[in-house]
């Protein structure tokens, strides 16, 4: 029977869910096992401060590895490019709008409501375009073969 995992190991295992899914499936068990072994070695070799130094070192390493793995997955680049494209399109629309001012019919008395509705529509277009472009450009990442 296996002894129950320490709180450190359980927290470290929970933090593994911050990694990209493909990386987590492939390496999560090995990473946690190495963490457990290193933690036990630290406990056997040092005092209480050594364990706190180990925890701090592992937290920094975990944060660094998570950022690196997400950058390697390509998703931040695709999201950034999609967002940049969407914002460029909205900027172009805004410059056209400035040149050709919006003339409301006389029957509409509350121009602020119309302007707010148009602003909300533009924000929704930015969000939808970003999602669509991100999913379009990441299709190869989503459908690649798993080993």
Count of domains forming the chain: 2
Residues 45 and 88 in one domain: no
How much is the average pLDDT of 55-69? 90
**2, part of any domain:** no
Structural domain boundaries, residue 100: 75-142
Residues 66 and 100 in one domain: no
Tokens of 85: 């494209």
Cα separation, 58 vs 52, whole angstroms? 10
Which residue among 20, 54, 72 closes a domain? 72
**42, part of any domain:** yes
Residues 66 and 81 in one domain: no
Residues 61 and 81 in one domain: no
Residues 84 and 66 in one domain: no
Residues 79 and 65 in one domain: no
Q: How far is CA 32 from CA 16, 58, 114, 119, in A?
A: 9, 11, 55, 48
Backbone angles phi, psi at 143, to 5 degrees: -105, 10
Q: How far is CA 140 from CA 19, 72, 74, 145, 147, in A?
A: 19, 14, 11, 10, 15
Cα separation, 15 vs 13, whole angstroms? 5
Q: Using alpha carbons, select from 18, 63, 62, 64 the residue that is nearest to residue 38.
A: 62
Tokens of 39: 């933690």
- pTM, two decimals, is 0.54
Model confidence over 5-44: pLDDT tens digits?
A: 678 888 888 888 888 888 888 888 899 899 989 888 888 8
């Amino acid at each position: 029977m296996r002894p129950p995992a320490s709180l450190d190991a359980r927290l470290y295992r929970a933090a593994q869910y911050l990694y990209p899914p493909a990386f987590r499936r492939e390496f999560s068990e090995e990473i946690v096992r190495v963490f457990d072994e290193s933690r036990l070695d630290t406990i056997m070799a040092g005092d209480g401060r050594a364990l706190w130094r180990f925890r701090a070192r592992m937290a920094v390493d975990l944060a660094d590895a998570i950022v690196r793995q997400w950058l390697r997955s390509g998703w931040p680049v695709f999201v950034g490019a999609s967002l940049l494209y969407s914002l460029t399109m909205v900027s172009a629309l805004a410059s056209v709008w400035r040149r050709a001012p919006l003339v409301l019919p006389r029957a509409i008395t509350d121009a602020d409501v119309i302007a707010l509705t148009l602003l909300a529509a533009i924000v929704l277009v930015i969000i939808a375009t970003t999602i669509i472009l991100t999913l379009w450009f990441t299709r190869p990442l989503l459908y690649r073969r798993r080993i």
